[in-house]
């Protein structure tokens, strides 16, 4: 007999985006999430983690999980990707030979997390935008090639997001050392704007934030006011959550005054731009950065 509770209504789940953020740096495994003993310690094979009542090391956790001892890519997490429930969902069907994903605190200068000009499954996802003077308190997922492929598959590359390098970005780990090769997902729809400016993702902390900020319920109120044409808010939000056509129509309107991403050192990796051109901004699909 199943003990599972009733399914969460899709519009209520949408309102929880970007979901519960980590309390601190941790490693996600199938067996559970293991916090770092000292979040400010340099990262390496001997980094200490708490596993219940005992202490172990990153190399021990990686080997016990059957994860590969190979180089990893630092991928910025500024929305739901750092959330433990998101990683559990994305890697639930990954190959059994091992999942061990470090999620480490990262400070990114002159950038903020902002709302994207599109809707998926009832929620407005996040993207990033330049914001001089702001220090985004985000995360970096350290992913193997295989793990990066799993996350890529969830991001609708070429439809909603592109993956690339933020060349020239100033990013630092918790121990103060630089992150020299940071990758990130960027919305192909651009940043949602209000009164001509992007709107920051309120639940993602930042120092020196200069943009107005909203949480997901707040940004959904903004979207309702701009695109619902008088439809009752509850019915409108439920339609966005269950009807892809409604979400796509809303996205088309939000993109009309969106702010495209502009970063001098941006190097798009996936999808590969045709003949060096930026990827097209196209239709809505799945996402969860």
Give me the CATH number covering residue 26: 3.10.490.10
In a domain, 31, yes or no: yes
In terms of Cα–Cα distance, which of 63, 32, 35, 64 is closest to 47? 35
Domain coverage including residue 109: 10-276
In a domain, 289, yes or no: no
In a domain, 287, yes or no: no
Total number of domains constituting the chain: 1
Q: How far is CA 92 from CA 26, 34, 86, 282, in A?
A: 18, 17, 10, 29
Rounded to the nearest 5 degrees, what angle is found at the Cα of 209, between the Cα atoms of 182 and 11?
A: 80
| Contact predicate 192/117, CB 8 Å | yes
Residue 90: other Cβ atoms inside 10 A: 21
| Contact predicate 102/239, CB 8 Å | no
Buried b (16+ CB within 10 A) or exposed e, 123-135: bbbbbbbbbeebb
In a domain, 2, yes or no: no
Question: What does the pLDDT profile of the chain (289 residues) look like in tens digits?
Answer: 445 557 889 899 999 999 999 999 999 998 899 999 999 999 999 999 999 999 999 999 999 999 989 999 999 999 999 999 999 999 987 665 689 999 999 999 999 999 999 999 999 999 999 999 999 999 999 999 999 999 999 999 999 999 999 999 999 999 999 999 999 999 999 999 999 999 999 999 999 999 999 999 999 999 999 999 999 999 999 999 999 999 999 999 999 999 999 999 999 999 987 654 444 333 333 444 5
The pair of structure tokens assigned to 196 is: 């001509």
pLDDT at 96: 57
CA 281 and chain centroid, separation: 19
pLDDT in tens, 220-274: 999 999 999 999 999 999 999 999 999 999 999 999 999 999 999 999 999 987 6
pTM: 0.91
């Amino acid at each position: 007999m199943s003990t599972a509770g009733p399914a969460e209504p899709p519009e209520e789940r949408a309102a929880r985006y970007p979901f519960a953020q980590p309390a601190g740096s941790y490693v996600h495994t199938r067996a559970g999430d293991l916090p770092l003993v000292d979040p400010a310690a340099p990262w390496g094979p001997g980094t200490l983690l708490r596993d219940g009542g005992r202490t172990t090391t990153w190399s021990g956790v990686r080997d016990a999980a059957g994860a590969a001892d190979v180089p990893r890519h630092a991928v910025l997490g500024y929305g739901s990707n750092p959330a433990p429930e998101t990683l559990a969902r994305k890697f639930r069907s990954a190959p059994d030979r091992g999942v061990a994903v470090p999620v480490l605190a990262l400070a990114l200068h002159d950038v903020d997390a902002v709302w994207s000009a599109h809707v998926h499954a009832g929620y407005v996802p996040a993207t990033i935008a330049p914001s001089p003077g702001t220090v985004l308190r985000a995360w970096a997922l350290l992913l193997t090639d295989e793990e990066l492929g799993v996350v890529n598959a969830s991001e609708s590359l070429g439809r909603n997001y592109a993956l690339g390098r933020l060349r020239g970005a100033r990013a630092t780990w918790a121990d103060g050392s630089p992150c020299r090769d940071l990758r990130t997902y960027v919305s192909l729809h651009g940043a949602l704007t209000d009164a001509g400016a992007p709107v920051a993702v309120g639940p993602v902390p930042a120092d020196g934030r200069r943009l107005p900020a909203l949480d997901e319920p707040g940004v959904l109120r903004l979207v309702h006011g701009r695109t619902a044409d008088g439809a009752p808010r509850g019915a409108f939000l439920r339609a966005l959550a269950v009807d892809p056509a409604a979400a796509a129509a809303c996205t088309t309107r939000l993109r009309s005054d969106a702010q495209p991403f502009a970063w001098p050192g941006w190097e798009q990796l996936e999808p590969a731009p045709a003949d060096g051109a930026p990827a097209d901004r196209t239709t809505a699909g799945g996402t969860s950065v």
